[in-house]
A and B are shown apart, each in its own frame.
Chain A
Amino acid sequence: MSATHDTVAAADTAAVRRAIASTTRPPRPGPASTALTFGWRGMLKVKHVPEQLLDVTITPVMFVLMFTYLFGGAISGSTGEYRDYLLPGILVMSVLFTTVYSGVALNTDLTKGVVDRFRSMPIWRPAPLVGSLLGDTVRYLLAVTVIMVVGVLLGFRPDGGFFGVAAALGLVVVFAFGLSWVFTTLGLLLRTPSAVMNAGFMGIFPLTFLSNVFVAPETLPSALEAFVEVNPISILASASRGLMAGDADGGQILVALAVAALLAAIFAPLTTILYRRG
């Protein structure tokens, strides 16, 4: 035992020396390449634990089925009519709910030593954050695709056609990317993953329900209606509906994109500063 151990150790040492001696430092990769590498890290994690995808696959399907058949008759008189109204909205809701998990995941990540390694490396500072959000974007894309497939199976035939739907999905994903910076900031400010989850949903839940995702605002009391009209989530939902229906409202799309840009402009630097401070 000890003899074999010694020979193994000796071989190791020689190999270790060769391995250490053999490197020269390559030129630094650019920001985009670094961020994409972090995105790849996110994908690898999904590969090892595919259950992580439940919240972007099974959950949205449940939402679509539940709301369509439970409330469809009561709200619109028929499930088919409500489905057409609801589907773009449920798409928005599912993806926006998912953004909270970006903050939760970042908070979990921070408790691990590997973050110290990343922070001590000569890489573009926001790369780990941008990269993980790029990885999350793939999750959002999966969620919107699943919902559209379910929708089509349920008989949803949007007039906007393939391109209209694709544009709507793109818009929702871009908006989600902007919004997720809010939750990464939260993820760095709060101490535990569950606190991030609670605080995140405390914000996103009422904002989503007090929008036109589920019901047309005209049926609401006037004060509430006024709020729902200006809620960015309503505007995003309306813009998606328009794109899918083939009568897109350029103004709504611009507002949705502007809100996403504004959120990213405020919260991306904030997240980066907090992350740097550690």
Chain B
Amino acid sequence: MLGPNGAGKTTTIRMLATLIRPDAGSAHVLGHDIVHEADAVRGRISLTGQLASVDEDLTGRENLVLLGRLLGLRRAAAKLRADELLGAFGIAEASGRLVKNFSGGMRRRLDIAASLVVTPELMFLDEPTTGLDPRSRNQVWEIVRALVQEGTTVLLCTQYLEEADQLADGIAVIDRGRVIAEGTPAQLKSSVGRGALHVTLADAAQRPDAERALTRALGALTLQPDAARLSATCSDAEEAGRAVAELTAAGIGIADFSFGRPSLDEVFLALTGHPADSSVEYEATA
């Protein structure tokens, strides 16, 4: 589930995980109604929320033993399982420390391990890499891939296009509480182009000519509020190069141009015609 802050991702996950009741409508998780069969749903899912869903005042090991006991493991089995997970997730050395003294990456891994004390059929992961450094992020990605390969379905929400691209078999783009696009990463990217060309004109007065030339070369433009800036999606650098050549051939002065992967903003522009509501920090971390 891909969308900016405030799109409704967390609300959706909280509804599906039976934490809040939907005001209207219905949903089924693994065949069970989330309102009338909430308990059956809970017996098959795990939630790793956006706030760390582990107890900060306990140690890493105590957290996992506690959850094991709550899920019905006997004391010895719960301890064994805790140690197995701590080892697998690379937090064995820190397992005796209070979670509040964990690093961000370790806390996230513990949080995911906590959802796997008993392997669920469906796991909800709410923005698992927000705020993590690239190395920790890669570790989380590896874990998610392993989970999926072992047969657990993961519903992950993220505001990073790259994360969705890396991990998802299917993506739903969410905007203002609605699914505005759905498909495989390949389908989604082909609908917005694989990349984006940004051009800054030397003279904003040439915009109409530039728009015509770019439309001819690349098809539809994406909107830009700045009069001197134009953006269009295109499939590769070669196509972008041809478009730039066509602009210069038409006598249009270019102050600056760039080609890059479409950002979430551009996906949104392409899909909705309006920019994502919040200015999120994905540029900095992507």
Contact = CB atoms under 8 A, between A and B. Distances in A.
A40 B152 contact: no
Contacts of A27: 72
11 contacts: A16-B142, A20-B147, A21-B119, A28-B72, A33-B69, A41-B55, A114-B52, A116-B17, A121-B70, A122-B71, A123-B70
B54 A117 contact: yes
Given A22-B84, A26-B73, A114 B150 contact: no
A15 interface: yes
Contacts of B56: 112, 114
Interface string A1-27: 000010011001101111111111111
B115 to A, nearest CB: 8
Given A8-B90, A12-B139, A121-B71, A112 B39 contact: no
B241 to A, nearest CB: 34
A16 B55 contact: no
Interface in B76-121: 77, 81, 84-85, 87-90, 98, 114-119
Contacts of B245: none
Contacts of A12: 88-90, 139, 142-143
Nearest to A49: B57
B180 interface: no
A41 B58 contact: yes
A41 B66 contact: yes
A232 to B, nearest CB: 34
A250 interface: no
Contacts of A21: 119, 150
A16 B143 contact: yes
Contacts of A37: 66, 69-70
A17 to B, nearest CB: 5
B142 A120 contact: no
B135 interface: yes
Given A16-B146, A123-B70, A117 B42 contact: no
B19 A29 contact: no
Nearest to A28: B72
Given A18-B88, A40-B66, A48-B98, 7 more contacts: A19-B116, A25-B71, A29-B69, A34-B70, A45-B57, A114-B53, A116-B14
Given A12-B142, A26-B72, A123-B70, A113 B58 contact: no
Contacts of A5: 135
A82 to B, nearest CB: 41
Contacts of B152: 20
Interface in B119-156: 119, 135, 138-139, 142-143, 145-147, 149-150, 152
Interface residues of A, number: 43
A257 to B, nearest CB: 31
Given A18-B88, A19-B84, A120 B17 contact: yes
B42 A113 contact: no
A278 interface: yes
A11 to B, nearest CB: 9
Contacts of A33: 69
B42 A121 contact: yes
Contact of B19 (A20, A114, A120): A120
B2 interface: no
B47 interface: yes
Contact of A117 (B49, B59, B77): B49
Given A12-B139, A37-B70, A121-B71, A17 B54 contact: no
A22 B73 CA distance: 14
B19 A16 contact: no
A44 interface: yes
Nearest to B17: A120
Nearest to B40: A122
Given A12-B139, A23-B81, A23-B119, A113 B50 contact: yes
Nearest to B21: A277
